[in-house]
Amino acid sequence: MKRKLFYLGLFCTVIFLPAQSLLADDQCISCHTNTVGDKQSELFKHDIHFKKGISCADCHGGNSKLEDMDAAMNPKEGFIGVPKGDNISKTCAHCHADPEKMKKYGSSLPTNQWESLQSSVHGKLSTTGKEHITQCVTCHDSHGIVSVKNSASPVFPLNVVKTCTKCHANASFMQTYNPAMPVDQLDKYRTSVHGVRNRNGDPKPAQCASCHGSHDIRGIKDVKSSVYATNIPTTCSKCHSNAEYMKQYKIPTDQYEKFARSEHGKALLQKHDVGAPACNDCHGNHGATPPGVESVSKVCGTCHALNADLFSSSPHKKAFDERKLPECETCHSNHEIVAATDKLLGVGSEAVCSRCHQTNQNVKGYAVAKTMRSLIDSLEFMEQNAEMLVNESEQRGMEISEAKFKLRDVRQARLQSRTMVHSFNEQKFHDVVGKGMTAASIVQGEAQASIDEYYFRRKGLGVATLIITIFTISLYLYIRRLERKQNKKVI
Amino acid sequence: MKPYLKKIYDWVDERVELQDLVNFMAKKYVPVHRHSIWYYFGGVSLFLFVIQVITGILLLMYYKGSEELAFESIQFIMSKVAFGWLIRSIHSWTANLFIFTTLVHMFSVFFERAYRKPREITWLSGMMMFFLLLGFGFTGYLLPWNELAFFATKVGTEITGAVPVIGKPILEFMRGGDNVTGATLSRLFGFHVAVLPGIFTILLGTHLILVQRQGMSEPHEFKNKPHAEQKTMPFFPNFILRDLTLWLIVLNLLAILAVFFPWELGKKADPFASAPAGIKPEWYFLFMFQSLKYIPAKVFVIDGEVLGILLFGAAGLLWMLVPFWDYKSSRGEQSRFVTYIGLFVVMYIILFTILGWLA
């Protein structure tokens, strides 16, 4: 026991001795605490910098050893008072951007924060035009700074939201920089799974800095931003693909892999089509939450509006609701959405209809699915045939642009028919496919006529050449005969 | 002559004295020598001109010379009008063959010194027709209002605009403004179907009357031969029938070209699109276009392009005035210097056309 007390005493001496000794030597602290009694000096005693032996004079200048206030706070001693504007961050960067100095204090913090802040969206000039929008103290406070891992820190995960919303929930302040930017992020965040857990004291779920970064925050339209459309899946997957990190939440961690394989993922990640949906387009961003069974079609319907409308008025709507089946997801999956080819339709092994419609189960739907597939296959065959004939005609150098243009109507009808599938109404589907088939027949006819014309031209040329050749030979023979006669006359 | 034909002939003869013309043609003889072949290129050029007039009139029945409808009307001609494809392809191929045969005709006249006294006016009218022919090519090229034609006209008119003093007004006159627009199309269409054919017909009439009046030019060596060795053939019917044979062959060649290589229409011109890569003028302008590329941007104080245009202009003028400075030929003497100039010009055109083609 005595030994334990000895080690405890030794530990306390080692930890607090520098601060106590500094307190005794630092005339700034001594005077501001005992004589002035201001808040800053009181807060600074709990500041991590104070504990590391950094004095007031290291930021404010002056000579902390001198007892005489006028002498200690004399500009000749380097006293600068309270730093203003960018000088605040420069004062911090004096040490925090210097790896040697940081190493001296035993810090493993990165030393590029100031550089990152300057290139970030917060590094733009403020409305005064004299300083950056944000200084270090805007988020970290000035006196009483504690480690980021300390729950009292304004940048501790549970406090970040409050720190960011000091400005970002302030409509009049945000209006001066970006009037189009919403200021309801906090409200939305509190409705999200992340926000609810954060409020309940769980520091692991995403808060502002988890997705947007800290010092290097960039605008959402900046391709380098972690929340730029093509970067969002990677940003979300930092946590959601980390099985160890997500273990306690008992949700799958393969969403990213599935998404990357999906049509949406290929469009976004491979083709860099920023119009393709990222995680936030279905789950929301600040109010991120999994869409419920009821709302799946509404979420998908934000882009696939026609499909969603047709489904809502189809007989499947009621059937799905009764069985509590998520609407779009049941046939198309969620993260791993594959290309909606015609194979999904019908009663074959790859068709999704046959999951519920069999020869002995839901028979009417089975027949409709079979007919629909047959119709769409016929249309596709006719389109291919028409396209082949148009290509053949074009390759033969024929002017076929009008038929080629009409071919678009066939393609359009086929695309419309794929949408019309969601009505699950055979008559409506037949009408759309019928239009496509009529257009395909016209194109086929025109293309075939053009090919026939091609051969007609060649035959015509053959006949014309024959006639011209006969004429030419006849003329040649006539000239020979004529000249022979003329020569005889001369002789 | 059969009785009913004789009746018709007599009826016409009584009114227009046709017999005088027949007598004139029957007396007309064409020299026969080792270079006689070149005589036929004039006739072929005339035949191609007739084809151009006929096919041009037929195209006019459907062509619409406006920015909105020009391309579509050609498309309609090519796909909907009976034999429209044939007429348009023949018109386009003939235009090119016409320039080619005229070039051959011009060089054959040059090397044979057929321009020498008393045929200076024939040469001048021929040269003017040749320049008009290039004008026909340039103005007709824009009429389909396709991408290639649009940008080629843009480049072509820009080159004209580089000529000092008169260049800019000419450019604005040709374009109908600062840029190539529908106004340019209307103007060039007007020139192609009215102004140029009108002038061309007058020149052609003069040219043909002079040829008939003065007869075919004879080479120096032909004149020096003994009279017994000076072979000739009657212009009518021998030469005319030979001409006709060649015309039939050319007609067949045109039909083959039109069927196997129908003239493409390309994409409709879009003034807001960027120019397609590697845009080039038609082959008969290619040697000049390629030459301008090799001239440095600045030669002393003169702009390289301006210098090139001035040089070509001066060379063209000298070429046209050859009957007036080639005294030796006019005196009936051999002039090797002129032959060397001609050879140099031919080789230059061939070489720079090939370079332009490969570039």
Out of B79, B245, B252, name the one closest to residue A475 (CB): B245
Q: Min CA distance, B132 vs chain A (Å)?
A: 31
Angstrom distance (rounded) from CA B136 to CA B190: 11
**Under 8 Å between Cβ of B286 and B293:** no
Task: Return the bridge partners of A361, or none.
Answer: A358
Q: SS3 of B188, please?
A: helix
Q: Which of B249, B252, B257, B264 to mutate to test the interface with A (most CBs of A within 10 A)?
A: B252
Angle, helices B196-214/B120-142, rounded to nearest 10 degrees: 150
Measured between alpha carbons, how far is A327 from B3 in angstroms, rounded to an integer?
96
CB contact under 8 A, B255 and A482: no
Contact A465, B255 (CB under 8 A): yes
- Residues of A within 8 A of B252 (CB-CB) are 464-465, 468-469, 472
Strands B298-299 and B302-303: antiparallel
Tokens of B356: 């332009």
Considering chain A, what is the average pLDDT of its residues? 88
Amino acid at B66: S
Q: Concatenated DSSP letters for A437-459?
A: HHHHHHHHHHHHHHHHHHHHHHH
pLDDT of residue B93: 97
Query: In chain B, what residues touch A475 (CB-CB under 8 Å)?
Result: 241, 244-245, 248
CA distances in angstroms from B218 to A463, B35, B117, B228, listed in the order given: 41, 10, 12, 15
Query: Are residues B256 and A461, on separate chains, in Cβ contact within 8 Å?
Result: yes
φ and ψ of A386, to 5 deg: -65, -40
Size of interface A-B (CB pairs under 8 A): 57
Instruction: Identify whether B350 is part of a domain.
Output: no
Test A401 with B75 for CB contact under 8 angstroms: yes
What is the end-to-end Cα distance of chain B in Å, rounded? 60
CATH value at residue B130: 1.20.810.10
Is the CB of residue A288 less than 8 Å from the CB of residue A193?
A: yes
Say yes or no: A443 contacts chain B, CB-CB below 8 A: no
**Domain enclosing residue A407, as ranges:** 339-479
Does residue B169 lie in a domain region? yes
Per-residue pLDDT at A153 exceeds 70: yes
Dist. CA A97–CA A83, nearest whole Å: 17
The total of other beta-carbon atoms located within 10 Å of residue A207's CB is 24
**B contacts of A483 (beta carbons < 8 Å):** 233, 238
The mean of the pLDDT values for chain B is 92
Could you count the other beta carbons within 10 Å of the beta carbon of residue A245?
13
How would you class B333 by CB atoms within 10 Å of its CB: exposed for 0-12, middle for 13-18, buried for 19 or more?
exposed
Question: With 80 as the cut, is the pLDDT of residue A48 above it?
Answer: yes
Using CA atoms, how far apart are residues B338 and A457, in angstroms rounded to an integer? 48
Q: What is the pLDDT of residue B109?
A: 95
Out of A234-238, A364-368, B105-109, least confident range? A364-368
Asked if A397 and B252 come within 8 Å (Cβ–Cβ), the reply is no
Q: What is the pLDDT of residue A3?
A: 56
- List beta partners, residue B302: B299
A106 lies within 8 A of chain B by CB: no
Distance CA B178, CA A339 (A): 51
pLDDT of residue A96: 92
Q: Is B303 within 8 Å of B189 (Cβ atoms)? A: no
DSSP A130: S
> If you compute the radius of gyration of chain B from its CA atoms, what whole number of angstroms results?
23
Say yes or no for a CB contact (<8 Å) between B75 and A479.
no
Type of residue at A356: C
Helix, strand or coil, per DSSP, at residue B286 = helix
Are A464 and B252 a contacting pair at CB < 8 A? yes
Q: What is the DSSP letter of B17?
A: -
B233 contacts in A (CB within 8 Å)?
483
Residue B28: its pLDDT value, please?
85
Instruction: Say if the Cβ atoms of B241 and A457 lie within 8 Å.
Output: no
CB-CB under 8 Å, B255 with A399? no
Complex prediction ipTM: 0.86
* Contact map slice: A 457-486 vs B, CB within 8 A: 457-458, 460-461, 464-465, 468-469, 471-472, 475-476, 478-479, 482-483, 486
Q: Is the pLDDT of residue A14 over 80?
A: no
**Is residue B118 situated within a structural domain?**
yes
Q: Do B85 and A465 touch (CB under 8 A)?
A: no
Two tokens, residue A255: 């969403």
Q: What is the pLDDT of residue A383?
A: 97
Going by C-alpha positions, the residue among B42, B39, B61 that lies closest to residue B112 is B39
Q: Indicate whether A1 pLDDT > 50.
A: no
For residue A337, the one-letter residue type is I
Residues forming beta bridges with residue B30, ordered by sequence position: B233
Which 337-356 residues of chain A touch chain B by CB within 8 A? none
To the nearest whole angstrom, how far is the Cα of A435 from the nearest Cα of chain B? 25
| Residue % of chain A over a pLDDT of 70 | 94
Give a yes or no: residue B305 inside a domain. Answer: no
Give residue B52's pLDDT band: very low, low, confident or very high (50, 70, 90): very high
Which chain B residues contact residue A445 at CB under 8 A?
none
Residue A18 CA: distances (Å) to CA of A67, A96, B335:
20, 21, 112
Which residues from B are below 8 Å from A464, CB to CB?
252, 255
If one counts the domains in chain A, the total is: 1
**Does residue A362 fall inside a structural domain?**
yes
Residue A392 lies in a domain: yes
Q: Is A420 domain-assigned? A: yes
How far B221 CA lies from chain A's nearest CA (Å)? 24
Query: What's the structural domain count of chain B?
Result: 1
Q: Does A475 contact B248 at a Cβ distance shorter than 8 Å?
A: yes
pLDDT digits over A185-241, tens only?
999 999 999 999 999 999 999 999 999 999 999 998 999 999 999 999 999 999 999
User: Given a cut of 70, is residue A13 above it in pLDDT?
Assistant: no
B336: CB partners within 8 A, 6+ apart: none
Nearest to A340 by CA among A323, A324, A328, A348: A328
Which residues are within 8 A (CB) of A196 and not within 5 positions of it... i.e. 6 or more apart?
A190
pLDDT of residue B175: 95
Question: Pick from B307, B296, B291, B262: which is nearest to B354 by CA?
Answer: B291
pLDDT at A362: 78
Residue B311 lies in a domain: no
Q: Residue A478: list chain B partners with CB under 8 A.
A: 241
Residue B232 main-chain phi, psi, to 5 deg: -140, 165
Domain residue limits at B242: 25-266
The answer to the question of residue A403 being in a domain is yes
Decide if A452 touches B, using CB distance below 8 A.
no
Q: Does A124 touch chain B (CB under 8 A)?
A: no
Q: Yes or no: say if A192 and A284 are a contact pair by the CB < 8 Å rule.
A: yes
Closest to A327 in 3D by CA, of A352, A346, A354? A352
Q: Which of B62, B92, B241, B242 to mutate to test the interface with A (most CBs of A within 10 A)?
A: B241
> Each residue of A328-361: pLDDT tens digit?
888 888 888 888 888 999 988 889 998 889 888 8
> Smallest Cα–Cα separation from B94: which of B203, B247, B211?
B247
Give the closest-approach CA distance of B57 to chain A in angstroms. 22
* A401 at interface of B, judged by CB pairs closer than 8 A: yes
d(CA A19, CA A17): 5
Q: What is the pTM of this model?
A: 0.68
Q: Which amino acid is at B107?
A: F
User: Looking at beta carbons, which residues of chain A come within 8 Å of B76?
Assistant: none
Chain A: residue nearest B80 by CA? A399
A370-426 pLDDT, tens digit each: 999 999 999 999 999 999 999 999 988 888 989 999 999 999 999 999 999 999 999
Tell whether A402 is within 8 A of chain B (Cβ): yes
The 10 Å CB-count burial string (b at 16+, else e) for A251-271 is eebebbeebbebebbeebbee
Helix (H) or strand (E) holding B356: helix B336-358
Better pLDDT: A365 or B99: B99
Between A71 and B291, where is the model more confident? B291
Tokens read off for A390: 């148009």
Q: Give CA A427 to chain center in angstroms.
A: 40
Q: Which chain A residues in 244-263 lie under 8 Å from chain B, judged by CB atoms?
A: none
| Cis check: omega of the bond before A18, within 30 degrees of 0 | no
Q: What pLDDT is recorded for position A339?
A: 85
A456 min Cα distance to partner chain B (Å): 10
The count of other CB atoms within 10 Å of the CB of residue A228 is: 17
Q: Residue B17: pLDDT above 90?
A: no
> What confidence score (pLDDT) does residue B22 get?
80
Confidence of residue B229 (pLDDT cuts 50, 70, 90): confident
Residue B168 falls within a domain, yes or no? yes
Beta strands in B244-358 (DSSP E): 298-299, 302-303
Q: Is B335 within 8 Å of B116 (Cβ atoms)?
A: no
Cα dihedral A111/A115/A119/A122 (nearest 10):
80
Residues in chain B closer than 8 A to A399 (CB atoms): 75, 78-79, 85, 262, 265
Cβ-Cβ contacts under 8 Å, B245 against chain A: 472, 475-476, 479
